[in-house]
Amino acid sequence: MSLTIDSLFSVRGKTALVTGGSRGIGEMIARGLVENGARVYISSRKADVCEELARELSATGTCVALPADLANMDDAGRLAAAVAERESSLDILVNNAGAAWGEPFDAFSERGWDRVMDLNVKALFFLTQRLVPLLEKAGTADDPARVINIGSIDGLQAPVFEAYSYAASKAAVHQLTRHLAKHLAARHISVNAIAPGFFPSKMTEFMMENEPNFTEHIPLARGGTPEDMAGTVLFLASRAGAYLSGSVITVDGGLLAGSRSR
Ligand SMILES: NC(=O)c1ccc[n+]([C@@H]2O[C@H](COP(=O)([O-])OP(=O)(O)OC[C@H]3O[C@@H](n4cnc5c(N)ncnc54)[C@H](OP(=O)(O)O)[C@@H]3O)[C@@H](O)[C@H]2O)c1
Tens of pLDDT, residues 199-222 = 999 999 988 888 889 899 999 999
Does position 262 have pLDDT exceeding 80, yes or no? no
The runs of H, that is alpha helices, within the chain are 5-8, 24-35, 47-57, 73-86, 110-117, 124-138, 164-184, 205-210, 226-237
CA–CA distance, 93 with 82 (Å, rounded to integer) = 14
Residue 156 is assigned to a structural domain of this protein: yes
Residue 56 is assigned to a structural domain of this protein: yes
Confidence bin at 159 (pLDDT 50/70/90): very high
- 41, 164, 166, 243: the catalytic one is 166
Residue 15 is assigned to a structural domain of this protein: yes
Q: Does the beta carbon of 183 lie inside 6 Å of ligand 1?
A: no
CA of 3 to the centre of ligand 1 (A): 35
Tens of pLDDT, residues 37-71 = 999 999 999 999 999 999 999 999 999 999 999 99
pLDDT value of residue 226 = 98
User: What CATH number does the domain containing 53 carry?
Assistant: 3.40.50.720
Residue 84 is assigned to a structural domain of this protein: yes
Query: Which domain covers residue 179, as residue numbers?
Result: 5-251
CA of 184 to the centre of ligand 1 (A): 25
Residue 256 is assigned to a structural domain of this protein: no
Mean pLDDT across the stretch 127-156? 98
Confidence bin at 127 (pLDDT 50/70/90): very high
Residue 259 is assigned to a structural domain of this protein: no
Q: Does the beta carbon of 196 lie inside 6 Å of ligand 1?
A: yes
CB atoms within 10 A of CB 111: 11
CA–CA distance, 205 with 163 (Å, rounded to integer) = 15
Q: Does the beta carbon of 223 lie inside 6 Å of ligand 1?
A: no
Number of domains the chain is built from: 1
Active site residue 166: yes
